[in-house]
Structure 1
Amino acid sequence: MKSGRMSMRSAEGGQVSVTRGFVARASGAMNREMPRVVAVFCAVRLFCLLVLGIWSRAAGASTHELLSQRWDSLWYERVARHGYDFSLVAPDGRHLSSTAFFPMLPWLEKGVSAASGTDLADAGLVISAVASVFAACGIYLIAEHLYSKPVALISVCLWAALPVSIVQSMAYSESLFVALAAWALYSVMRGRWLSAGFLACAAGLTRPVGLAVAAAVVFAGVREVLRRRREPAAGGAELWRVVVAGVVAPLGAVGFVLWVGVRQGDVFGYLDVQAQWGNGFDGGVSFSRFVASGVGVEGVWPLLLVAMIVAVFSVHRIILRQSRSHLLVIYSAIVVAMAIGASGYFGSKPRLLMPAFPLLLPLAAAMVKAKPLLVYVIVGGEILVAALYGAFWLNGSGPP
């Protein structure tokens, strides 16, 4: 928590006390900050899109098609257009079912398309653009709540300029998911339990990793219930709101997986669908073997896996020490575990890690202590790398 904040019992269990007047002033200040946050985020994304447009034009490719009509974006559009009755047979005989893709983005694409008259591909781009802005605002609010405004702004810049951040501007579900996840986590921090529960449920209908949001909300809810039992006179939201949030949060992801299972005639049918796509969970074995093969060392994958686990564990310890936020650590740790532990194509790993934005907070906190010129150089360099890599990536192999 920031040192200047008065103390009252927060949803995270920390001490925080603050008068209504202070809350009103803080809210007003936050509202004044949002335009600057949005402007900075949009400037980064527009620069990356400008570089993509120049690169694509030189390569004779369509920027619009690259962003809206390739890879997963096509599948989301197919779900919006045909429901879950569409499937393909791969050249090697695998049955690729559209039930591998969660429904929230296709639902929104269909709604936006019907309301605006745009086609489904453009609706997907609009949704991603709007959702990415909300995601940036959510990340800012979380970082500001736990650290400070400078840390929050740098965190937004770092997330906007990740090497694969071009996905934030595609008709993919990453931006929508991060927006829902960030606001669900922030709602827990502010004690807005019903909002947290329903946002977590929506995140679970967006991507499988929505389970990470649900787990974090449920964990925070259990802590809150136990705190109320220890301190019956403690203030906070009505207990029924906490219970409802904990019940509702996992319904999205669990409900969709079970629905797919019913369609497949097997409770674990979703896993079979993912297996046909070449996806599964092996605890990081495939990922580590891939890294080991890249460095030409046989049998080193267990060591690499251990090293990665230690590195991620260390960053999460820093987050916990700096912010005392078990909520973020649980969410981020599950996101990383699901991304690294997946057995699918290695090229998808970076974008699967995009929702793990809490990992950026300690880096942003360290950068705040550096000289401003160094911060500008680091952030500017990252933005340039993101723009060039995104243009190279989409005009090449692209995201799977």
Structure 2
Amino acid sequence: MAGAEALRLDARRPVAERLIELAAPAAVYLGVRLVGLVMLAIMAARDGTDVLTRLSTWDGAWLRAIAEHGYDVPDDMLDLFGHHTPTTALCFFPGYPAAVAAVGTVTGGDLVIAGLVVSLVSGIAAAYALARLGELVPGGSRQAGLVLVGLFAATPMAVVLSMTYTEAMFCAFAAWALVGVLRRQWLLAGLCAAGAGLVRPTASSLVAAVALAALVAVLGGGAGWRPWAGAVLSTTGILGYLGYVALQTGSPTGWFAIQQAGWASSLDGGGATARYAVEVLFGGDKIFDVLTLVAILGTAALLVIGVKMRVPWPLLVYGALVLVTVWGTDGVMSSKLRLLVPAFTLLLPPAIALGRRSTGTAVAVVAAAAVASAWFGGYALTIWPYGI
């Protein structure tokens, strides 16, 4: 009866008010990202290039090539060491390129525009899931959810959410999977985790969190068959693709071998990150490197705060595993800031705190973060000379 009464009261509100509330997550996300794109346009113009070129560089070129040619990409597509092999492209997961290829049929074959459209739609989808997460967590609220959206769109390397990169699509799947976990909608959680598993290897962290939460639900009793189904579904995307690469390479560890040989990326227990931290602390003079180290340390602090604030444990498990993967992996150090973007659950503590403050304070903080992120994104794409 209470739910029916709430629906009747909601129906009596002015249509404009309901539409504004409905559009709020998208408006916050798009507003913050627009600030970033305007800043990038200004910095690209000073650099003598254009926004579209900057938004489709680095890994974006690989993903577009896969969207156009499948995994048989042109021979001039080279790995980190300037090599090309028949399996080089297999290190990139197929979900994003497949979506770009599909949208490309509508954009007249323009895969840059198609990639940007996929990222835009994915980012908006992620915004609605994050807004819901901010409402569902203990101490959360509508304002906390919107602040979470704003902070997510204003992380240091949030520019990748507007690029022909996989982060926006992955975060959309991951955020909705975690909404499914909190609402005990196990099929939603499993399907979204499966989708994430076709987009990025970061899905291993998400699958672990979803499967563990489902296991706890089963052990708690009375959950039925859905947690089992959700847990099994969650593994199908990432295991399916790793299995495909294993068949193509003839090795069960084929994907990991490609990553190591072509991109110098492998789990090393954090040794490379520790050496990088020492180098930056005692000899670093690059803004990018310094901010990367600050972000790495900051995420550790946010994780501790999240534990103290009793953020739901599946969200903490997911965030912690993303951090462990980023900290514990060798490879291109300048990509670590980008790899931290999916750790959005760590932004819940400041979002909850700002949700309790005045609207003006929350807006001011998000606006300041948006401007800082906008400048840094422009710096990363127009001044910083290395890949992200």
TM-score scaled by length of structure 2:
0.86
**Partners of 1:317 and 1:23 in 2: CA distance:** 37
2:278 equivalent in structure 1: 292
Given that residues 134 and 351 in structure 2 are in contact (C-alpha distance below 8 angstroms), is that contact kept between their aligned partners in structure 1? no
Q: Does 1:215 align with 2:208?
A: yes
1:301 equivalent in structure 2: none
1:37 equivalent in structure 2: 25
| Distance change (3 Å), C-alpha of 1:31 and 1:23 | farther
**Partners of 1:91 and 1:326 in 2: CA distance:** 37
| Distance change (3 Å), C-alpha of 1:80 and 1:320 | same
**Partners of 1:217 and 1:163 in 2: CA distance:** 27
1:3 equivalent in structure 2: none
Q: Report the number of matched residues.
A: 366
Post-superposition Cα deviations, 1:147-166, rounded to whole Å, max 9, x if no partner, equal 11121111111111112111
Report the more deviating stretch, 19-28 or 41-50: 19-28
Given that residues 29 and 153 in structure 2 are in contact (C-alpha distance below 8 angstroms), is that contact kept between their aligned partners in structure 1? yes
Post-superposition Cα deviations, 1:70-97, rounded to whole Å, max 9, x if no partner, equal 1111111111111112364558564461
Secondary structure of the residue that 2:345 maps to in structure 1?
Answer: helix
Which of 170, 178, 181 is the equivalent residue of 1:188?
A: 181
Which of 97, 106, 111 is the equivalent residue of 2:102?
A: 111
2:4 equivalent in structure 1: 21
- Matched letter for residue 218 of structure 1: A
**Partners of 2:199 and 2:314 in 1: CA distance:** 20
Which of 290, 314, 328 is the equivalent residue of 1:327?
A: 314
Report the aligned-residue RMSD: 2.8
Post-superposition Cα deviations, 1:110-134, rounded to whole Å, max 9, x if no partner, equal 1111244241121100000111111
| Distance change (3 Å), C-alpha of 1:312 and 1:41 | closer
Secondary structure of the residue that 2:71 maps to in structure 1?
Answer: coil
- Matched letter for residue 34 of structure 1: L
Which of 219, 226, 249 is the equivalent residue of 2:219?
A: 226
Which of 264, 268, 272 is the equivalent residue of 2:253?
A: 268
TM-score scaled by length of structure 1:
0.84
Which of 4, 28, 35 is the equivalent residue of 1:47?
A: 35
Report the more deviating stretch, 85-94 or 124-133: 85-94
| Distance change (3 Å), C-alpha of 1:42 and 1:77 | same
- Matched letter for residue 188 of structure 1: V
Q: What percentage of aligned pairs have identical amino acids? A: 32
- Matched letter for residue 348 of structure 1: S
Aligned-pair CA distance for 1:383: 1.2
> 1:107-146 to 2 correspondence within 5 Å?
107-146=98-137
Which of 140, 151, 154 is the equivalent residue of 1:158?
A: 151
Given that residues 221 and 243 in structure 1 are in contact (C-alpha distance below 8 angstroms), is that contact kept between their aligned partners in structure 2? yes
> 1:213-362 to 2 correspondence within 5 Å?
213-228=206-221, 232=222, 239-276=224-261, 277-296=263-282, 315-362=302-349
| Distance change (3 Å), C-alpha of 1:140 and 1:92 | closer
Aligned-pair CA distance for 1:138: 0.8
2:197 equivalent in structure 1: 204
| Distance change (3 Å), C-alpha of 1:95 and 1:275 | farther
2:290 equivalent in structure 1: none
1:74 equivalent in structure 2: 61
Given that residues 336 and 356 in structure 1 are in contact (C-alpha distance below 8 angstroms), is that contact kept between their aligned partners in structure 2? yes
Aligned-pair CA distance for 1:137: 1.2
| Distance change (3 Å), C-alpha of 1:342 and 1:116 | same
| Distance change (3 Å), C-alpha of 1:34 and 1:318 | farther
Q: Does 1:98 align with 2:83?
A: no
